[in-house]
Structure 1
């Protein structure tokens, strides 16, 4: 497995980490006291506010970015692009996404937007390095 392929796995796990963060405050509490509702998880998540709501939004956005990232890695590998360059772009994407999640949780909107743009730029670059 290449580093870039390993980054695909990490990127696929980031939304799951965001979901855990969003739900964490509700773990261990009864549903009647605002605890996580596994019977209606989407409705419960939609009712969140503050950092929990932002964690859920980061989860959704993390899922949205996966297709272009995975496609970028696969296209670059198919074109036999420079593996060190592809690995660097993939690691930069994962770093940008991790920073994006942190910025989302901290409610740093401008930083979040910059990191989102950097991550997207890494993905687009992958299509052209072959």
Structure 2
């Protein structure tokens, strides 16, 4: 399995890991209605939930880019590098979200987004 495919797995795990920050140790966590409970949270827990949601939003675009690039036999080394950049940017995004640094968070969100666009460009160049 390629590094890029491993990055898809990591990206798929990020939402679960991020929501754990919102839930672990939370008082009154209600597994019968977890979304309603999360909606009532504030501060760190609220930001963790929002980061969790954003990871789910970013995942399909990233996974599609990697799968398409692999299918058309895009150059593997640049693909792996761009996939790793995406993962690093998303980890930084989470850290900046949790620590309430919105300007940095937006900057690394943009880096992650550009890495996905770069993967699509790489796939386009393979044809």
Q: Distance in 1 between matches of 2:121 and 2:71?
A: 12
Hey, what's the Cα distance between the residues in 2 that align with 1:62 and 1:116?
10
Deviation of 1:25 after TM superposition, in Å, equals: 2.5
Which consecutive segments of 4 or more residues in structure 1 shift more than 4 A?
A: none
* Deviation (angstroms), 1:79: 1.8
TM-score of the aligned structures, taking structure 1 as reference length = 0.92
Corresponding residue number in structure 1 for 2:109: 116
Deviations 1:59-113 (A, max 9, x none): 0000000011001101111221110100000000000000000000000000000
Q: Which residue of 2 aligns with 1:25?
A: 25
CA RMSD of aligned residues (A): 0.7
| Aligned residue-pair number | 123
How far apart are residue 24 of structure 1 and its match? Answer: 1.1
CA–CA distance in 2 between the matches of 1:112 and 1:69? 18
Counterpart of 1:31 in structure 2 is none
Structure 2: distance between partners of 1:2 and 1:63? 22
Distance 1:61 1:40 in 2: 20
SS at match of 2:121: coil
- TM-score for the superposition, normalised by structure 2: 0.94
Superposed counterparts of 1:17-96, under 5 Å: 17-26=17-26, 34-96=27-89
Q: Which residue of 88, 91, 94 maps to 1:101?
A: 94
Q: Which runs of 5+ in 1 are unaligned?
A: 27-33
